[in-house]
Amino acid sequence: MDGKEVLRIVDAIQRDKSIDKEIVFSGIEQAILSAARRHFGDDHELTVDINRDSGEPTVYCDNEKLAQDILGEILGRVAAQTAKQVMIQKIREAERDTVFDEYMEMQYQSVSGAVSRVEGGAVLINLGKIEGILPRGEQIPGESFRVGDRVRAIVLDVRKAGSRVKVILSRTHPDMVRRLFELEIPEVADRIIDVRSLAREAGYRSKVAVSCIDSSIDCVGACVGMRGARIKNIVDELAGERIDIVRWNDSLQVLVPNSLQPAEVEDVILCPMLGRVIVLVRDDQLPLAIGRKGQNVRLASKLVGWDIEVMTQTELDEQLDKTVEAFSSIPGVSEELAESLVSQGFFSYYDLSVIEPDQLAELGGLTAEQCEQIVEVADRESERVEAEEEAMKQAQQNQPAGTAPAAPVAPAKGLSDVAAASEGDDAPAEEASTETEAAAESVTESAASEPVEAASDPEESEDTAVVENETEVATDSESVESSADEPVQVENEVEESTEKQE
């Protein structure tokens, strides 16, 4: 075997495949060793060494150097074919490892390519050296791709599959928004503006908290851009996903109201022991703070890293009274201790069941045994309340349609009920809907006497629902109240005209 030929092969493979020369030399040594074992059998100790400068191979059999003519016999036609196959396999493995290492370093980084084909909902994207896979579950809801479309995504995962490398891409991961901010906003790429936190529900809404090391720069305005040009490019890339940019603040008293924008917050109550924040808003701001199906408060909770419960002052007062009464009924808990627990943010049996006994002892001056008994009782009560709620849900599901549901007897559970309403789908909307239906019935009765006054323009109401979608409940309630007052005026006018005729 000519040493110059070996060096030429190594250089070509290193240049074309981007494989380290040492890996190629090792592959050739393994190939020659395989051919030597085929020639001598497995009874001999064989080693192969290639000079990295000259390329000349040397074979040792039982620690004795073999002559070059014997080496030529070893690398006969059949043995050479075997050596070639081994070398090809080693090179493929080295190439796979190189690609794997390259894309592992790019994990959660942005890549782009053209769609090569679509198979069963998954999109295969040509990334140059390899095809990336964009699964259906990692695509933004509602978007579709055609062959040839340019697609940008982030590298979510890299896996070895035999001799191949699978690169899994994602467009729904929160870091997708972060990488787009770095691409579209130079201040973010230069680390002048820092993306401190990010919460996302792909395809619907994202919240991004930013801060700036230079106080003279408006970090929110810089991200939005002139006439919204910068943020518009990001929104277009994310198929119209809504993006809220808020100013980061180390104080939760400031950050939480910022994260709940556009809702106006009246007060913020921190509960450090439970990692909870109670946010008080006006009645007209409650639907806006919670958001559609709880989306706004849910994203705000992810953004700040604390559980957020949104309620009005009236709801808070009612829940506090119920919670103090419920805690006071537990043996060993005085009214003063119950009020102290409530002031620290413990608003349900579940909250009390997870408290550490030593923390409870500090609050109430109790012994360790008393604290353990209180926690055990709270744990049992929490399980009882949960079982009753589950039974109530099952009863409602099994109830025949058209029958009135039985009035539930809700045990005192504290603010966890409000938390369920805040994080649930439509609890505030359901309450507003009940009031709207009751008012609508009164409007219908009044409309029978004066249909002209009660009639409303359907186009106007439809436009209002579209523009003011976040305050839809409040708008509907106001229109119902105004409509309910008009027939009263009509009846008064009829009575006055009757008196004049008499």
Alpha carbon distances (Å) from 137 to 285, 298, 471: 35, 21, 32
Which DSSP letter does residue 281 get? Answer: -
11-62: per-residue pLDDT in tens? 888 887 778 888 888 888 888 888 788 777 777 888 888 888 888 888 888 8
pTM: 0.66
Is residue 380 domain-shared with residue 419, that is, in the same domain?
yes
**Domain CATH code at residue 154:** 2.40.50.140
Confidence at residue 370, expressed as pLDDT on a 0 to 100 scale: 75
Confidence at residue 440, expressed as pLDDT on a 0 to 100 scale: 41
Torsion of CA 96, 99, 104, 109, to 10 degrees: -150
Confidence at residue 271, expressed as pLDDT on a 0 to 100 scale: 82
- Residues of the chain with pLDDT below 50 are 407-502
Strand order across the beta sheet in which 276-280 lies = 267-271, 276-280, 307-311
Report the candidate in 347, 345, 359 with the shortest Cα–Cα distance to residue 268: 345
Local structure of 451: helix, strand or coil: helix
Confidence at residue 360, expressed as pLDDT on a 0 to 100 scale: 73
Q: In the listed set 80, 103, 126, which residue is the last one of a domain according to the structure? A: 103
Is residue 121 domain-shared with residue 132, that is, in the same domain?
yes
Is residue 358 domain-shared with residue 319, that is, in the same domain?
yes
Is residue 80 domain-shared with residue 113, that is, in the same domain?
no
Is residue 139 domain-shared with residue 68, that is, in the same domain?
no
Is residue 419 domain-shared with residue 328, that is, in the same domain?
yes
Block residue for tokens 């002892």: 361
Is residue 157 domain-shared with residue 70, that is, in the same domain?
no
Confidence at residue 310, expressed as pLDDT on a 0 to 100 scale: 93
Is residue 7 domain-shared with residue 65, that is, in the same domain?
yes
The answer to the question of residue 240 being in a domain is: no
Confidence at residue 401, expressed as pLDDT on a 0 to 100 scale: 56
425-476: per-residue pLDDT in tens? 443 444 434 444 444 444 334 333 333 333 334 333 333 333 333 333 333 4
Is residue 141 domain-shared with residue 92, that is, in the same domain?
no
Is residue 418 domain-shared with residue 330, that is, in the same domain?
yes
CB 314 within 8 A of CB 257: no
The answer to the question of residue 303 being in a domain is: no
The answer to the question of residue 292 being in a domain is: no
Confidence at residue 364, expressed as pLDDT on a 0 to 100 scale: 64
Is residue 73 domain-shared with residue 111, that is, in the same domain?
no
Q: In the listed set 134, 150, 170, which residue is the last one of a domain according to the structure? A: 170
145-157: per-residue pLDDT in tens? 999 999 999 999 9
**Domain CATH code at residue 86:** 3.30.1480.10
According to DSSP H, which parts of 260-367 are helical?
A: 286-290, 295-304, 313-328, 335-343, 349-353, 357-364
The answer to the question of residue 327 being in a domain is: yes
Is residue 80 domain-shared with residue 10, that is, in the same domain?
yes
| Domain housing 126 | 106-170
Q: In the listed set 103, 125, 153, which residue is the last one of a domain according to the structure? A: 103
